[in-house]
A and B are shown apart, each in its own frame.
Chain A
Amino acid sequence: RDKLLGVHPTSVSKYTPTKSNTWKCLDGSKELPWSAVNDDYCDCEDGSDEPGTSACSNSQFWCQNAGHIGSYIPSSRVGDGLCEADCCDGSDEQPGVCPNRCKEIGEAYRANRDAELKIQKTGSKIRSTYIAFAHKEQKRLQEEVKSLAKEIVTKEKEVERLRDIAERTESLSQAALEHKKQSPLYQSLLNHNKALKSLKREYQKHADRERQLGDILGSLRTGYNPNYQDMAVLEAVRGWEELAGLPHINDIKKGGDAEEGGEVTTGEGEKAGEPEDDGLWTKDELDGELEDILGTDYTQLLLDHEEHINAPTGDSVLFKITSYLPDSLLPTYEVWKDNLLEWLERLGIIPEETSGATSESSRAQQNLATATSELNRIKGEKSEAESTIVKIFHPEHFGIEGEWKKMDDECLEYEFGEYTYELCMFREAKQKPKNGGSTFSLGRFKSWNTDARPGSPEYYSKQYYKHGARCWNGPERSVVVLWTCGTQNAVTSVAELEKCEYQYTATSPALCLPPGAGDNGNGKNREEL
Chain B
Amino acid sequence: FKAHDFKTCSQSGFCRRGRALAKRSLETQSWQSPYSIDPSTISIVDGQAVFKAGVKSSLYPDINFGLEVRVQEDGAVRVRMDEVGGLHKRYDEAASWSLIADPKISQSIQWKAGKKDIRAVYGSKKDIGVVITYEPLQITLSRGGKDQVVLNGRGLLHMEHFRKKEEAPAVEATPTPEGGEEQVVVKADNPGAWFEGAEEDALWEETWGQWTDSKPKGPESLSIDISFPNHGVVYGIPQHATRLALPTTTGENAFFSDPYRLYNADVFEHLASSPVSLYGSIPLMHAHSEESTVAVFDLVASETWIDVSHSSDKSTETHWISESGILDLFILPGPDPDAVFAQYAKLTGTAPLPAAFGLGYHQCRWNYVSSEDVRTVQKRFDEENIPVDVLWLDIEYAVDHEYFMWNEKTFPDPVEMVNDVAATGRKMVVIVDPHLKRDSNYPAFTAAQDLKVLVKPKSGEGEYEGWCWPGSSSWVDFFNPAAWDWWKSVFKPYQLEGGSWSWTKSTEDVHIWNDMNEPSVFNGPEITMPKDNIHYGGWEHRDIHNINGMLYSNLTYQAVAARSDPPKRPFVLTRAFYAGSQRFGAMWTGDNMGTWEHMAVGIKMVLANSIGGFSFAGSDVGGFFGNPEPEMLVRWYQVGAMAPFFRAHAHIDTKRREPYLLASPYKDIVYGILRLRYSMLPVWYTAFRETTVTGRPILRPQYVVFPKDKNGFDIDDQYFIGSSGLLVKPVTEKDVTETTVYFSDDQVYYDYFTFATYNGKGSHVKVPAALHQLPLFIRGGSIVSTRERPRRASSLMKYDPFTLRVALSKDGEAKGDLYLDDGETYNHQKGEYVWREFVAAKKTRNSLRISSHDLGSLKPTEAVGDSSLTTYNPKNSYAKTLDEKDVRVEKILVLGLKGNPKSVKVEGTGEDLAFEFMPAMTRAASTLVIKDPRAKITDDWTVLIQY
The answer to whether A54 has its CB under 8 Å from any CB of chain B is yes
Do A231 and B523 form a contact, CB below 8 Å, given A250-B470, A498-B656, A499-B653? Answer: yes
A80 B791 Cβ-Cβ under 8 A? yes
Which residues of chain B in 922-942 are interfacial with respect to chain A, using CB atoms and an 8 Å cutoff? 931-932
Say which residue of B385, B656, B801, B932 sits within 8 Å of A76 (CB atoms): B385
Return the contact of A82 from the options B522, B654, B796 (Cβ within 8 A).
B796
Of A80, A225, A417, A499, which is within 8 A of B796 by CB? A80
> Which residues in B have their C-beta under 8 angstroms from that of A495?
369-370, 372-373
Residues A75-119 near B (CB distance < 8 A): 76-77, 79-82
CB distance from A56 to the nearest CB of B (A): 9
**C-alpha gap A248/B520 in the complex (Å):** 22
Interface string of B655-682 (1 = CB under 8 A from A): 1100000000000000000010000000
* Closest B residue to A56 using CB positions: B789
Q: Are B655 and A498 in contact (CB under 8 A)?
A: yes
For chain A, what secondary structure do more than half of its interface residues adopt (helix, strand, loop), or is it mixed?
A: loop
Task: Assess whether A74 is interfacial by the CB under 8 Å rule.
Answer: yes
Given contacts A76-B792, A493-B372, contact A417 B409 (CB under 8 A): yes
A496 proximal to B (CB < 8 A): yes
Interface 0/1 of B399-435, CB less than 8 Å to A: 0100000000110000000000001110000000000
Complex alpha-carbon distance, A227 and B467, angstroms: 12
Cβ contacts under 8 Å, A473 to chain B: 653
Q: A81: shortest Cβ distance to chain B, in Å?
A: 6
Q: Within B769-814, which residues are at the interface with A (CB < 8 Å)?
A: 788-792, 796-797, 799-801
| CB pair A499 B789 closer than 8 Å | no
A248 and B471 within 8 A (CB): yes
Query: B789–A227 contact, CB under 8 A?
Result: no
Residues A74 and B653 in contact, CB atoms below 8 Å apart: no
A80-B792 contact in complex given A39-B932, A74-B385, A227-B652, C-beta closer than 8 Å: yes
Choice from B520, B653, B931 contacting A474 with Cβ under 8 Å: B653
Residues in A neighbouring B452, C-beta threshold 8 A: none
**Smallest Cβ-Cβ distance to A235: which chain B residue:** B523
Q: Are A55 and B523 in contact (CB under 8 A)?
A: no
CB closest chain-A residue, reference B625: A227
A229 touches which one: B424, B527, B652, B890 (CB < 8 A)? B527
Contact partner, B469, options A81, A226, A231, Cβ 8 Å: A226
User: Is A41 on the interface with B (CB-CB < 8 A)?
Assistant: yes
| Residue pair B790, A57 in contact (C-beta under 8 Å) | yes
Question: Are B385 and A54 in touch, CB under 8 angstroms?
Answer: no
Docked complex Cα distance between A495 and B796 (Å): 32
Q: Is B268 part of the binding interface, using a Cβ–Cβ cutoff of 8 Å? A: yes
A416 interface hit (Cβ, 8 Å): yes
Q: Is A396 an interface residue (CB 8 A)?
A: no
Cα A474 to Cα B796 in complex, Å, equals: 41
Asked whether A228 and B268 contact (CB < 8 A) given A40-B890, A74-B385, A496-B369, the answer is yes
A251 at the B interface (CB under 8 A): yes
- In the complex, the answer to whether A229 meets B268 with C-beta atoms within 8 Å is yes
> Which of B370, B410, B655, B789 lies in contact with A54, CB distance below 8 A?
B789
Q: Is B651 an interface residue when CB atoms closer than 8 A count as contact?
A: yes
Residues of B within 8 A of A309 (CB): none
Interface string of B519-539 (1 = CB under 8 A from A): 010110001000000000000
The reply on B817 being an interface residue by CB < 8 A is no
**In the bound complex, what is the Cα–Cα distance between A44 and B365 (angstroms)?**
40
Q: How many residues of B contact A (CB 8 A)?
A: 43
Q: Which chain B residue shows the least CB distance to A57? A: B790
Within 8 Å by CB of A225, from B370, B372, B471, B653, lies B653
Closest-by-CB residue of A relative to B269 is A228
B849 within 8 A of A: no
Is the CB–CB distance between B788 and A57 below 8 Å? yes
Asked if B373 and A497 sit within 8 Å, CB to CB, the answer is yes
Most buried by B among A39, A253, A498: A498
Q: Is B286 an interface residue (CB 8 A)?
A: no
Interface: B563 (CB within 8 A)? no
Contacts of A57 in B (CB 8 A): 675, 788-790
Contact B890 A76 (CB under 8 A): no
Contact among A41, A54, A234, A416 with B467 in the assembled complex (CB-CB below 8 Å): A234
Is B266 in contact with chain A by the CB < 8 A criterion? yes
Contact A41 B799 (CB under 8 A): no
Is B458 positioned at the interface, with any CB of A under 8 Å from its CB? no
Chain A, residue nearest B424 (CB): A82
A416 to B409, CA, bound (A): 8
How many Å lie between the Cα of A185 and that of B931 in the bound state?
Answer: 113
A240-268 vs B, CB cutoff 8 Å, 1 = contact: the mask equals: 00000000101101000000000000000
Instruction: Known contacts A80-B791, A229-B527, A231-B523; decide if A250 and B425 are in contact (CB<8 Å).
Output: no
The residue from A41, A234, A248, A493 contacting B890, defined by CB atoms under 8 A apart: A41
Asked if B158 is an interface residue, CB under 8 A from chain A, the answer is no
**Which of A205-249 touch B at CB < 8 Å?**
225-229, 231, 234, 248
State whether B932 touches A41 (Cβ < 8 A).
yes
Could you tell me which residues of chain A, from 334 to 375, have a CB within 8 Å of some CB in chain B? none
> What's the nearest-Cβ distance from chain A to residue B191, in Å?
46
Q: Is residue B456 within 8 Å, beta carbon to beta carbon, of the partner chain?
A: no
**Contact residues in B for A250 (Cβ distance below 8 Å):** 400, 470-472
Is B891 in the interface zone, CB < 8 Å from A? yes
Contact B656 A55 (CB under 8 A): no
Least CB separation from A83: chain B residue: B423
- Residue from B385, B520, B651, B788 having most chain A Cβ neighbours under 10 A: B385
Contact of A81 with B653 in the complex, beta carbons under 8 Å: no
Scan residues 637-662 of chain B and give those whose CB is less than 8 A from a CB of chain A: 651-656
Contacts of B800 in A (CB 8 A): 54
Alpha-carbon distance between A498 and B373 when the two chains are bound, in angstroms: 11
Q: Which of A40, A54, A80, A82 has the most CB of B within 10 A?
A: A80
A127 to chain B, nearest CB (A): 27
Bound together, the chains give a CA A498 to CA B370 distance in angstroms of 12
**CA A313 to CA B788, docked complex, whole Å:** 114
* 0 or 1 for each of A482-513: is its CB under 8 Å from B? (1 = yes): 00000000000101111100000000000000
Q: A82 near B932 (CB under 8 angstroms)?
A: no
- Check B890 against A55 for contact (C-beta < 8 Å): yes
Q: Say which residue of B423, B469, B656, B788 sits within 8 Å of A497 (CB atoms).
A: B656
**Complexed CA–CA distance, A79 and B801 (Å):** 11
Q: Please give the distance in Å from B8's CB to the nearest CB on chain A.
A: 20
- Closest CB of chain B to A19's CB: distance in Å? 21
CB-defined contacts of B469 to chain A, threshold 8 Å: 226
Contacts of B789 in A (CB 8 A): 54-55, 57, 76
Closest chain A residue to B441 by CB distance?
A: A253
Most buried by B among A43, A229, A248: A229
Bound-complex Cα distance A175 to B675 (A): 94
A39 to B467, CA, bound (A): 63
Q: What CA separation (Å) do A145 and B372 show in the bound complex?
A: 49
Docked Cα-Cα span, A228 to B370, in Å, equals: 23
Residue of B nearest to A78 (CB): B789
Whole-angstrom distance between the Cβ of B499 and the nearest chain A Cβ: 25
- Closest chain A residue, CB of each to CB of B471: A250
Query: Which residues of chain B come closer than 8 Å to A41, judged between CB atoms?
Result: 890-891, 931-932
Give Cα A251 to B472, complex, Å.
9
Give min CB distance, B212 to chain A, whole Å: 16
Residues of A contacting B425 with CB < 8 Å?
81-82
In angstroms, Cα B655 to Cα A234, docked, is 26
Q: Which residues of A contact B372 (CB under 8 A)?
A: 493, 495
Contact residues in B for A229 (Cβ distance below 8 Å): 266, 268, 520, 522, 527
Chain A residues with Cβ under 8 A from B788's Cβ?
57
6 tightest A-B CB contacts, nearest first = A250-B471, A80-B796, A76-B790, A229-B522, A41-B932, A54-B789
Residues of A whose CB lies within 8 Å of any CB of B are 39-41, 43, 54-55, 57, 74, 76-77, 79-82, 225-229, 231, 234, 248, 250-251, 253, 416-417, 473-474, 493, 495-499
7 A–B pairs (Cβ distance < 8 Å), ordered by A: A43-B931, A57-B790, A76-B789, A81-B796, A82-B424, A227-B651, A493-B372
Sample of 7 more A-B contacts, CB < 8 Å, known A234-B467, A416-B409, A493-B372: A39-B932, A55-B789, A74-B385, A229-B266, A248-B471, A250-B470, A495-B372
